[in-house]
């Protein structure tokens, strides 16, 4: 081998070059990998939706689109709110304990699964295979529903049922309650879906 001084010199500059090269390679990777992340257009399309809820009458449902999904805003009547207590025994997850991070934000971890008990905000997609459940607000016996039906939703694809707080009934194909999206009230009449106070 050559004498030590030549060796050391090559080694010094090899190490320096490798370090500089590694830094450079990392720096160059950043823009390319960032280019994979959602663009401004995607972020704008997925932006929060502001809804005026002043025109919704008790018992009525309004549907808005957020991130390509249907979001329901239901103004529940006092009877519908009462009914929430009656059906607890028939529900698979009455206290919304399953997957809370995904399905039920903190401010919705209550019996009515909402910030204001009167207004339910939920994503209208069945947790089984993604169909949108149909409204079945009328109480009482109906086709495909039990005789003591207290009002809620029936998914037409495979028969899963949900109550007026989006909670799924036992022994149905759907495993989970309906997702409550992040949302917050900007005023008494303006609801923002897609963002909450913590965000």
Footprint on this chain of another protein (rule: CB under 8 A): 2, 6, 9-10, 12-14, 16-17, 20-21, 23-24, 27, 30-32, 34-37, 39-41, 43-45, 47
| Nearby residues of 62 by Cβ (< 8 Å), 6 or more positions away | 51, 53, 56, 72, 73, 74
User: Cβ closer to another protein: 39 or 134?
Assistant: 39
User: Cβ closer to another protein: 35 or 55?
Assistant: 35
User: Cβ closer to another protein: 46 or 70?
Assistant: 46
| Nearby residues of 83 by Cβ (< 8 Å), 6 or more positions away | 139, 150, 151, 163, 164
Find the radius of gyration of the CA atoms of the chain: 26
Q: How far is the CB of 83 from another protein (least distance, A)?
A: 37
Q: For Cα atoms 61, 67, 72, give the angle at the middle one, nearest 5 degrees.
A: 10
User: Cβ closer to another protein: 5 or 171?
Assistant: 5
Q: How far is the CB of 44 from another protein (least distance, A)?
A: 3
Q: How far is the CB of 107 from another protein (least distance, A)?
A: 24
Kindly list the strands in the beta sheet with 190-193, ordered across the sheet, starting from the edge strand earlier in the chain.
Answer: 49-52, 190-193, 183-185
């Amino acid at each position: 081998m050559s004498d030590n001084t030549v060796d050391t010199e090559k080694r010094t500059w090899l190490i320096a070059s490798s370090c500089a090269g590694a830094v450079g390679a990392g720096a160059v990777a950043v823009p390319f990998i960032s280019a994979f992340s959602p663009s401004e257009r995607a972020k704008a399309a997925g932006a929060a939706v502001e809804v005026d809820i002043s025109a919704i009458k008790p018992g009525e449902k309004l549907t808005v689109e957020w991130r390509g999904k249907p979001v329901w805003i239901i103004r529940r009547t006092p009877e519908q709110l009462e009914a929430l207590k009656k059906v607890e025994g028939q529900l698979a997850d009455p206290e919304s304990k399953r997957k809370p991070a995904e399905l039920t934000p903190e401010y919705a971890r209550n019996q009515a699964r909402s910030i204001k008990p009167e207004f339910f905000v939920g994503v209208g997609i069945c947790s089984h295979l993604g169909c949108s459940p149909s409204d079945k607000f009328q109480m009482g016996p109906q086709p495909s529903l039990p005789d003591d039906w207290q009002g809620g939703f029936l998914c037409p694809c495979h028969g899963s049922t949900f109550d007026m707080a989006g909670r799924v009934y036992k022994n149905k194909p759907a495993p989970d309650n309906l997702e409550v999206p992040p949302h917050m009230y900007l005023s008494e009449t303006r609801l923002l879906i897609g963002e909450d106070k913590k965000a």
